[in-house]
Structure 1
Amino acid sequence: MKILLVSMNSIHFVRWTEQLKNAGHDVYWFNILDGNKAARLPWVKQITGWKQKYPKLKGRHFFKKNLPFFYKKFSFLIEHNTVKAFEKVIENVKPDVVHSIVLYISCTPILHVMQKHYNLPWIYSSWGSDLYYYRSVPKFKRDILKVLPRVNYLITDCKRDIEIAIELGFKGNVLGTFPGGGGFNYSEFDAYIKPVLERKVILVKGYQGRSGKAIEVLKALQLISYKIKSYNVIVFGADDEVEVFIEKENLSNNLNIKWLSRQDFLPHNEILKLMGGALIYIGNSDSDGMPNTLLEAIAQGSFPIQSNPGNASSEVITHNKNGLLIEDCNDVNAISELILNALEDRKLIEKAFQINQNKVKPQFERALIKTKVLEAYNSIKAN
């Protein structure tokens, strides 16, 4: 089958696509945002370099960064039209199926073309906040309501989004629910897993921005600082607002805290090492799908305390059994109580470790997910 992927370049996209290697399919990729090729996908026919009419034009990046309104207004003079470019790709490639990853980035810009080629099967992958958050934003909801009735097949990273998609007009077939980047190759990082009793780290995901709520977690840790003197707090992927909060509140006076800026690239294996040595992992946001970092923390043996927007996290965490769920991401007092409950109940943590290692973790093993993903692709009937 000839598969045309439509996506921006990201680590999750690359990991997802790697599942298709040597699977008997002819794989193409239209880089919807253009940019560089993906070095890890040399076997994929990558369509890049299509956007700029004058790629060596001086001052373009300065104009785009400092005068975005005017750049957008006059972009037609220096950029090729996405619809026309994608139409040419369809004509040249003649795919059996188009697979768009993320709606507002990879579906909306090509909707006109897909409506024109109505008999061409179209897969849409929903990741993260793609449906859960953007359905509440009028501008994006209009796009969702236009795209979903045209889509033939749906892949999600959590079961919650299947119901949302159906409510918003999807009438096609659901191919499955899989982690955004496919499964996890545990053999690569099992060596980082330390015994539970040796762990003394509270690991916090440091995202703030639109949906992240790391500052609320830090406030919760402040409330119980006198009870967690013997633990090290590590914040990874700390956004600027989080760093400012840590320094402004002088958290290091009361907490043994270390933070790793989101601006400084932290290799993936280093994050997995942190998780493999963390007693507790805390992820908090008001919108997400199934967080890859949550699944990785579970695999690495950290006890998960995770927010639960739309009940997505409860698909893998049973409260008070293999983790704890934050039901109100803004309730600092409740979050502090959850942290204390975990730290004071070692039996809960040890039991959760066993459940997660023996029952939850195997469900997301790379080879298993890959088999299911390939079965999903193979179930598609090309016209």
Structure 2
Amino acid sequence: MDLNYPIISIVIPVYNGSNYLQAAIDSALAQTYRDVEVIVVNDGSCDEGKTEAIAQSYGARIRYVSKENGGVASALNMGIRLAQGDYISWLSHDDIYLPDKVKRQVSLMRRQTHQRVIIYSDYEALHVDKDKLFSCKISHLTPDNYLRNMLQLLFRSELHGCSMLIPKDCFEEVGFFSEQLRTTQDYDLWFKLLRYGYEFVHLPEVLIRVRWHQNQGTLSMFDIHVREVENLYVWAFDQFRKEIITFPAEEIHDLITVLRRRTLKIAPDYIAASVRSADYKLFCKLGIRLLCRNFTDRFKALIMKTASVGLYLVPQVVQNWIFYLIDRYVFFIKIDRTNHSRSIVFVVLPESLHTARWINQFIDQGWDLHVFPALDTGKVHPELKNTTVYYSFYGDIGINEKSGNRYQGIYLPTSMGVFAAVLLRSLLQRFYPSYRAHQLSRLIRRINPDVVHSMEFQIAGYLTLEVREVFGKEFPKWIATNWGNDIYLYGKLHQHQPIIRRLLECCDYYSCECNRDVVLARENGFKGVVLPVFPNTGGYDLALAKKLQHPGPISERRLIMLKGYGLERGRAVSALRALERCADLLKENNYQIVIYLASHDVIFAANLLASTTDVDIRVFPFSADAGRQHYALSHEEILRLHGQARISINNNISDGIAISLLDAMVMGSFPIHSCGACGDEWFDDGITGLIVSPNDPEEIEAAIRKALTDDDLVNKAAAINWNTALERLDYTELRELSVQFYSRVFTGSEGR
């Protein structure tokens, strides 16, 4: 290799790229650095030969090869293997190089003291749909912190692969682009190169122009992209764990915040938990040193020896002390049953609206109601009232002082108390993972309730099962309530199937919202008593609902409601793609879209839709302020919005009777509901609502267009659905059914 005049191979992978390919090839051939070869790899385009015709029109000026479709990574790898150059420069078919790109990078490469160097530059981005040009310059690098700089850039995805000049030899050492990855093959390789010790050198000049458009893989395969990024960042954090945990706290916090804003959840949570774990070890070391100041030299030696054997031994002492306090303040309480005829221990997800609405039905029954949160978060839903709630630790944040709830646990006031609570809970979880089961067991023995009612399977139900298997036949009567996904979705997963079967074999009573789930429970081994099937959330104050409805025909409403669930089960993103296809109709008739309970990925997709279509969109996130309130909107505010909506969309792969469906029916909005969610047990498809496939934007689009253009359909549906609400959703009638629900368990000899 001639170090002064190396040959540069520009590799252009392309799939159905006839719209942009010519500009990309022209920019490669127009480089002012002359020792360049251009390789175009056609990745099995299926555009009637248009892409191939463009490439072949350049004749001998480029090397053209065609292959079966295998993804961009496979096309890049083929081009790299065919390359005769000393360095590789990747150019996407929809991007262009500025004329001096290669020349400027080779010039900088010559000035390096070794060859294990990768040059990268700034770039410009053209937003195709808006015809706007943005400058993307990397300007926040900190001197003398090379590795920290690079990790920040990679985790924030601020490097562009087409801005790089890469030694070809590195692919033989590190490996090629991973062909199993569809959208993150580039950053997967950059992390590996950094781990292998290659040096990334920044050239602070704009040398490429990239295009942002709807057909890019990160957008057209958004769900796949999110999963790949989550997995990549978890893997990358493990590779650089020792380095990252030494970052300043504010940098780690900023990084986690950035990742969460990008709709990620698993990776930032994993990083946060890992950093906290490292902090705890340091905390334990410092604690030992402080503790030793007050003891004799002999005792100091003993403690330090214990610490050197394993830090896990020292926190056991701390753990025992914490358990003493918890037992003293949480479970060693005086139980007065003289004024209560019956007692129930609810094992629940306390921040759920389902939980609050169900339990609130019984606060005036004279029963002794105990709420044991399966997740020890220290928070409850703001609408939960007049119960006793058991936490290990709790504080002012997440607690509604006007609720009338009584809290048992160690009170830690102020924001510092929140930090201490998180620290102590994490220590317990780390060194005694079953501590919550221990606490539930102690509570049940102390209270001896008439009924234990677990509401939800995978967290509350599994925890109750763990305690039930310790008690055996001495366990109180157990009602297991199935929520939407518990059997229908998780029952299909091998890791959950045996636990679900064991739970159904052990519980005495089973309740659910769908007749579908009764059948599934029986198929999974339940032999006890099935309680009446009706909504797990209680009913509606229909007089109030009528007042909240917007006056006039439903067809005159100009609002669309969308439940913003995404991530594993929600498919609000598919609904947004369908709405994007209806942008002409939405803008023509001045419709506004309201997205509520929106997860991070849905917020991202909604912002993108608003920017590309100019459709009026309001987004209310799932958590407005995690410290104060679990929801950005109260349930009454959501009802009021449904009362202004023409259609309400709930799109996910699994559910029971979704509150959003019932809200829509009560408030007159026309429901568009995904299959697999028991909507067919509440409305007639095509008459009083529409059922769609959750993963098919075209089918969802057709349903939306029908509901937006057929005034007679939505007006008649609203009248029929209101009658259904009168018959099946009146709060007073459902409350009476719910009281009978427990009375049957209290007095009956049914069950086991």
Paired residue type of 1:337: A
Q: By how many angstroms is 1:42 displaced?
A: 5.7
Task: Answer yes or no: is the 8 Å Cα contact 1:180–1:292 preserved in 2.
Answer: no
- 1:1-383 aligned within 5 A: 1-9=342-350, 10-34=352-376, 35-36=378-379, 43-49=386-392, 61=422, 74-76=430-432, 81-115=435-469, 116-118=471-473, 120-194=476-550, 195=552, 196-229=554-587, 230=589, 231-251=591-611, 253-264=613-624, 265-309=632-676, 312-326=678-692, 328-380=693-745, 381=747
Q: Cα 1:121–1:209, aligned 2, differ >3 Å: closer, same or farther?
A: same
Of 115-124 and 40-49, more deviation after overlay is shown by 40-49
Q: Aligned partners of 1:191, 1:98: CA distance in 2, in Å?
A: 38
Mapped to 2, the partners of 1:38 and 1:214 lie a distance apart of 24
| Secondary structure of the corresponding residue to residue 5 of structure 1 | strand
1:121-144, Cα deviation, whole Å (9 max, x unpaired): 110111121221211222222221
Aligned to 2:32: none
Q: RMSD of the alignment, in Å?
A: 2.7
Q: How far 1:60 sits from its partner (Å)? A: 6.4
Counterparts of 2:448 and 2:429, CA distance in 1: 33
Question: By how many angstroms is 1:290 displaced?
Answer: 0.8
Note closer, same or farther for the CA distance 1:216–1:361 as it changes in structure 2 (3 Å cut).
Answer: farther
For residue 619 of structure 2, give the secondary structure of its aligned residue in structure 1: strand
Amino acid at match of 2:704: I
Q: CA deviation at 1:200?
A: 1.2
Structure 2 CA distance for partners of 1:18 and 1:248, relative to 1, 3 Å: closer
- Deviation string 1:85-104 (CA, Å, 9 cap, x unpaired) is 22222221111221111112
Instruction: Check whether the contact 1:123–1:155 (CA below 8 A) recurs between aligned residues.
Output: yes
Q: Is the 8 A contact 2:370 2:388 kept in 1?
A: yes
- Residue 306 of structure 1 and its aligned partner are, at CA, apart by 0.6
Q: Hey, what's the Cα distance between the residues in 2 that align with 1:14 and 1:252?
A: 39
Identity of aligned residues (%): 28
Q: Structure 2 vs 1, CA of residues 75 and 184 (structure 1 numbering), >3 Å: closer, same or farther?
A: farther
The letter for the 2-side match of 1:283 is: N
Q: Deviation digits for residues 195-216 of structure 1, max 9, x if unmatched?
A: 2143111222222111111111
One-letter amino acid of the counterpart of residue 149, structure 1: E
Distance 1:58 1:343 in 2: 49
| Contact 2:514 2:534 (8 Å CA) reproduced | yes
- Choose 27-36 or 348-357, whichever is displaced more: 27-36
| CA displacement 1:173-210 (0-9 Å, x = unmatched) | 11122222211222333212122143111222222111
Cα deviation for residue 72 of structure 1 reads 7.8
Counterpart-to-counterpart distance in 1, 2:418 and 2:607: 42
- Alignment CA distance shift 1:63-1:233 (3 Å): same
Give the counterpart letter for 1:204 in structure 2.
Answer: L
Q: What is the CA distance between 1:341 and its match in structure 2?
A: 1.4
Specify every segment of 5 or more residues in structure 1 that has no aligned partner in the other structure, as ranges. Answer: none
Which whole-Å CA distance do the structure 2 matches of 1:102 and 1:316 have between them? 22
Structure 1 residue 227: Cα displacement: 2.6
Q: How big is the shift at 1:57?
A: 9.9
> Distance between the aligned counterparts of 2:715 and 2:707, measured in 1?
10
Aligned to 2:406: none
1:16-57 Cα distance to aligned partner (Å, 9 max, x none): 111122324332222332324677666434333379899769
Q: Which residue of 1 aligns with 2:250?
A: none
- For residue 379 of structure 1, give the secondary structure of its aligned residue in structure 2: helix
Does the 8 A contact of 1:226 with 1:254 survive in 2?
A: no
Partners of 2:466 and 2:684 in 1: CA distance: 43
Q: 1:7, CA displacement in angstroms?
A: 1.3
Is the CA contact (8 Å cut-off) linking 2:369 and 2:388 kept in structure 1? yes
Deviates more, 1:136-145 or 1:256-265: 256-265
Q: 2:635, 2:423 → 1: CA distance?
A: 31
Q: Which has the larger radius of gyration?
A: 2
Shift of 1:234: 2.3
Pick which of 9-18 and 294-303 moved more: 9-18
Which residue type is aligned with residue 315 of structure 1? Answer: E
* Structure 2: stretches of 5+ with no match in the other structure: 1-341, 395-408, 625-631
For the Cα contact (< 8 Å) 1:275–1:302, is it kept in 2? Answer: yes
Say which SS state the counterpart of residue 260 (structure 1) adopts: strand
Contact 1:31 1:48 in 2 (8 A): yes
CA distance in 1: counterparts of 2:362 and 2:599, whole angstroms: 34
Distance 1:355 1:49, change over 3 A: same
Q: CA deviation at 1:254?
A: 4.7
- Pairs aligned (count): 374
Q: Which has the higher contact order (CA 8 A, sep 6+)?
A: 1
CA distance in 1, matches of 2:381, 2:659: 21
- Tell me if structure 1 keeps the 8 A contact 2:643–2:667: yes
- Opposite residue 581 of structure 2, the aligned amino acid is L
Structure 2 counterpart of 1:320, which letter? G
Q: Distance in 2 between matches of 1:330 and 1:168?
A: 28
Change in CA separation of 1:251 and 1:355 when aligned onto 2, cut-off 3 Å: farther
Q: Distance in 1 between matches of 2:726 and 2:570?
A: 25
The DSSP-based 3-state class of the residue aligned with 2:392 is coil
Partners of 1:308 and 1:325 within 8 A in 2:
yes
Cα distance, 1:370 vs structure 2: 0.8
Letter in 2 for 1:223: R
**Post-superposition shift, 1:351?**
0.8
The answer to whether the 8 A contact 1:222-1:254 is kept is no
Q: Name whichever of 154-163 and 221-230 sits farther off.
A: 221-230
Q: What is the CA distance between 1:59 and its match in structure 2?
A: 5.9
Q: By how many angstroms is 1:367 displaced?
A: 0.7
Report if the CA contact (8 A) 1:281-1:305 is conserved: yes
Query: Are 2:353 and 2:383, in contact at CA under 8 Å, matched by a contact in 1?
Result: no
Over 3 Å counting, the alpha-carbon distance change for 1:260 and 1:41 in structure 2 is closer
CA contact (8 A) 1:216 1:332 kept: yes
